[in-house]
Amino acid sequence: AQAQAERSSNPIPTSVLMGAMLGSLARSVYAVGLLGNMLWTTALMNIVHLAPMSKAWKEGVCLVLTQLAWRIALLFAPWMSIQGDDDYAEQWGLVLSLMDEYDSEDVREGKPRRPLIVLANHTSFFDTVLGVAKLPVQVLWRCRTYMADHLFKMPVLSTLCKSVGHFPVHFASEEDGVFKVDTKKMEPVEKRVDNHLQGGGWLCFFPEGQVNKSPENILPFRFGGMKKALEYDARIVQMVFRGNEQVWPRKCQVGGFPGKVRYSMRPIAPDGARAFVQIARAEGAKEEVDMPDHAILAKRAQELMQEQYEALAEDKQGALSKLHGKLQKDNKKD
């Protein structure tokens, strides 16, 4: 009775109620649009896989269809303010130009082509939606990623995962917070990953290995992806998002809430993962002397991702330019 009296004496402001109602309405509209687009997309994917094309072409077409569907869903959700860094397109143009140059050079010299790996921070399922929507088509076409195996069993999403050729991650336990993988089940998966990379494919994944409950602090990077980057001497870029968890909260099945999102892309190892580690070792940091290469790569890449994330804050408009200048200077040390 006392609690009811307190609530009645302190009613919720009308503006708060209206905001909550509009937020729920916006989310519902986005959910309907997203689901509708995914339904026609997955239907087309089934048709595409009947076409007389190579497996790689079928998967590429399905990825482009996914990008189109998610772009349309975002187009009709203007209450989500999504803004890329001013030089986002320019950065990708430079990276793609370099990759074309490197690929041609490797082919001339009879060397295997080194892949590109795209790393991203992970705070929400919206990271995947926005990442796919904003990646250049040339990058998306060649990229595949790792996804938890339970996603391959979900209605609609399972068709998408299988059609685009993503790789399932089989965990040894379903316990929350336990990320040890089933090594036996992962053996054939890793063979597929190797075949993809050796055939000129690229990878994109979330190196934190889980959805971050505290987005302001980038989690330590898991070593598996770092070892793969070093094995293939991959060139590495980082795509970082800020605000995704506001428009699509971590525990929500679907997002679409009003909010502001910013994103950027920065190359951190344009000359390859091994050169990146070599430069780091040359700096002679005491705490890194006895660390293996993959641990140094994980530590340094995490630190750069943290800087990139912080640079996306509204009160640091010039920070990304400064970070870009720093990265260019570091890469010239080689």
| DSSP-derived 3-state class of residue 178 | coil
| 3-class DSSP string for 231-262 | HCCCEEEEEEEECHHHHCCCCCCCCCCCEEEE
Contact 259, 243 (CB under 8 A): yes
Using one digit for the tens of pLDDT, what is the confidence trace for 184-204?
A: 999 999 999 999 999 999 999
Query: What does each C-alpha distance from 238 to 51, 136, 204, 235, 327 come to in angstroms?
Result: 35, 14, 9, 10, 12
Could you tell me whether strands 146-148 and 143-144 are parallel, antiparallel, or unpaired per DSSP bridges? Answer: unpaired
The answer for 219, left when phi > 0, alpha when psi is -120 to 50, beta otherwise, is beta
pLDDT recorded at residue 5? 47
Indicate if the pLDDT at residue 318 is higher than 80: no
User: Which two three-digit tokens encode residue 153?
Assistant: 């069993």
User: Which two three-digit tokens encode residue 101?
Assistant: 């140059």
Using one digit for the tens of pLDDT, what is the confidence trace for 21-31?
A: 888 899 999 99
Alpha-carbon distance of 244 to 266, in angstroms, equals 18
Q: What angle do CA 326, 332, 334 make, to 5 degrees?
A: 125
pLDDT recorded at residue 270? 95
Neighbouring CB atoms inside 10 A of 72's CB total 17
Neighbouring CB atoms inside 10 A of 107's CB total 11
Using one digit for the tens of pLDDT, what is the confidence trace for 117-175?
A: 999 999 999 999 999 999 999 999 999 999 989 889 998 999 999 999 999 999 876 66
Q: For the chain, what's the residue count? A: 334
Q: Give, rounded to a whole angstrom, the gap between the first and last alpha carbons of the chain.
A: 72
Contact 296, 274 (CB under 8 A): no
